[in-house]
């Protein structure tokens, strides 16, 4: 399906019944941010708070993400876009199953086609394995850059993983600083 705007995409996505997650969701969490963002962040799927509020990364992990974004002059409402691999909450916050990811991925593809980001940042292993490479090792390969389909990509620790293991904080922060340098290199309006 080709959409002309995120609004149009959102309307269809809100009534999606392609997989069983639609039966237990309270909200479909489509995404948040600028339709013309040059940088897109992709997480794995909504948790409880996101399911309740209909916006990605609004729980504790989201608060940490916002702090890291703020530190490098990024703002979820202004100069980036945030989405997830699956748009509905997997019960008990389990990992989204491969079949659920497969059913949902066309929404993300449509978002990427519309937004046309220059940079995609995968947050955590699940997103990195779905988007960058099936056997991506987040501990070893976070912060590395590669190009795929004309888009620069990297993966970072999931903010929930940083909350669980504060020892990851310096490395996570370093990845954000490198992201800022990459944005300055390849983006035109993110830091306008
Ligand atoms: N974790 C994710 O991967 N995505 C969210 O939206 C919230 C928590």
- Residue 56 beta carbon below 6 angstroms from any ligand 1 atom: yes
What pLDDT shows up at residue 138?
Answer: 98
What pLDDT shows up at residue 25?
Answer: 98
Look at ligand 1, atom 7, and give the residue with the nearest C-alpha. Answer: 57
Task: Quote the CA–CA distance of 130 and 140 in Å, as a whole number.
Answer: 17
pTM of the model: 0.97
Query: What residues does 121 pair with on adjacent strands?
Result: 41, 154
- The 10s digit of each residue's pLDDT in 129-166 is 999 999 999 999 999 999 999 999 999 999 999 999 99
pLDDT below 70 — which residues of the chain? Answer: none
* Ligand 1 atom at shortest distance from the alpha carbon of 127: 3
What pLDDT shows up at residue 1?
Answer: 80
């Amino acid at each position: 399906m080709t959409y002309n705007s995120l609004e149009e995409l959102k309307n269809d996505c809100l009534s999606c019944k392609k997989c069983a997650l639609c039966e237990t969701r309270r909200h479909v969490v489509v995404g948040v941010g600028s339709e013309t963002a040059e940088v897109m962040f992709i997480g794995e799927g909504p948790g409880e708070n996101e399911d309740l509020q209909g916006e990605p990364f609004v729980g504790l992990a989201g608060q940490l993400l916002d702090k890291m974004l703020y530190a490098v002059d990024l703002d979820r409402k202004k100069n980036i876009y945030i989405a997830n691999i699956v748009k509905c909450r997997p019960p008990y916050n389990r990992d989204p199953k491969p079949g659920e990811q497969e059913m949902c991925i066309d929404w993300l593809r449509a978002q990427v086609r519309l937004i046309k980001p220059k940079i995609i940042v995968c947050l955590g292993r699940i997103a990195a394995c779905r988007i960058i490479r099936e056997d991506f090792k987040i501990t070893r390969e976070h912060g590395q850059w590669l190009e795929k389909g004309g888009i620069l990509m990297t993966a970072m620790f999931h903010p929930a993983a940083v909350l669980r293991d504060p020892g990851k904080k310096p490395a996570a922060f370093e990845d954000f600083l490198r992201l800022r340098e990459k944005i300055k290199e390849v983006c035109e309006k993110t830091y306008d």
